[in-house]
Amino acid sequence: MASELNILVLNNLADRHKDAITAVAPGTAVTVADLDHAGEYIAATDILVTWGFMDIRPLYLAAPRLKWVHALTAGVENLLFPEIQASDTILTNSKGIHGIPVSEHVLALMLAFTRGLNLLIPQQQEKRWSRVPTDEIHEKTIGIVGLGSIGREIAKKAKGMGMEVVATKQEMTTEIFVDKLYKPEQLRDMLGTADFVVAALPLTEKTNSLFTLDEFQAMKPTAYFINIARGAIVRQADLVMALQLGVIKGAGLDVFEEEPLPADSPLWTMNNVIVTPHLAALSPAYLDRAVKLFVDNLVRYVENREMFNVIDKAKGY
Ligand code: OXD
């Protein structure tokens, strides 16, 4: 008997993941393929599970049965091509599973800078015993730009570390771990109060190039900028200039305008910059969490109930 629901996943899955998916409904079949071989299965596919950075447009155009595209990432910027925008294909993402690893990554970056690890690790490689300035994050102010599920988890951990927490947010909700909320249009006011500014926003038309030299100039010269969101939120040449001129003290960057970060980028060799290769969300728990979220949504899809994390294609998140 032909399967009733064909799910094509563009990532390796463990048997336990496949079992959890096929257990949702009788007649559900899961195929795992890489992007290069997915074309063989796409004509029969009803649901495509992909990564938000993959170029699935050619597959999409060859998928007459496709009803739903699910991103294993939070970011869906490569999935918002015109044909999907104009269609009624459901697009969902994995928002909500990133809070724990990303907030730990942000803490690691803040602590690395305050404890001087950015200077000490290169010294160790030279076997040089030399003290560097050290500081604490206790009672410092963290300014979180974008208070979604990741921003909230960062706020909670920062509060637990004795920090003052301020944040920008569209709606003025009650936030137990945030001392002061600012509207997005008050961003520069907030920037001036923070010792660490953390970008935790989705990339949309509105947030594209949100951080320019003006925003860095609104920050304290002693402040650090941390980006775990998307590189395009920042005008990178302005950030480089701000770091070179001492407009801000340093930056912890997990995302870049171009990834991998090109070898000739000055960011690689600045001692006030920590570069990580877009891995803030990754940990051994990632795929288990992502598949659980997908399975919960698949149950809703099969039962024709309202689904989680449906992307508003016009807003882009
Ligand atoms: C994501 C990411 O979008 O990790 O999920 O960057």
For residue 75, report the distance from its CA to the centre of ligand 1, in Å. Answer: 5
What residues does ligand 1 touch, defined as CB less than 6 Å away? Answer: 52, 73-75, 98, 281
d(CA 53, CA 10): 12
230 Cα nearest atom in ligand 1: 6
Count of Cβ atoms closer than 10 Å to residue 55 Cβ: 12
CA torsion through residues 97, 76, 59, 24, sign: positive
For residue 132, report the distance from its CA to the centre of ligand 1, in Å. Answer: 34
- Write out the chain's pLDDT in tens, 317 residues: 445 899 999 999 999 999 999 999 999 999 999 999 999 999 999 999 999 999 999 999 999 999 999 999 999 989 999 999 999 999 999 999 999 999 999 999 999 999 999 999 999 999 999 999 999 999 999 999 999 999 999 999 999 999 999 999 999 999 999 999 999 999 999 999 999 999 999 999 999 999 999 999 999 999 999 999 999 999 999 999 999 999 999 999 999 999 999 999 999 999 999 999 999 999 999 999 999 999 999 999 999 999 999 999 998 88
Report which protein residue has its CA nearest ligand 1's atom 5. Answer: 73
Domains of the chain: 6-97+284-302 (3.40.50.720), 99-275 (3.40.50.720)
Of the residues 37, 65, 259, 305, only one is catalytic, namely: 259
Please indicate whether residue 230 is annotated as part of the active site: yes
Of the residues 105, 230, 235, 289, only one is catalytic, namely: 230
For residue 52, report the distance from its CA to the centre of ligand 1, in Å. Answer: 8
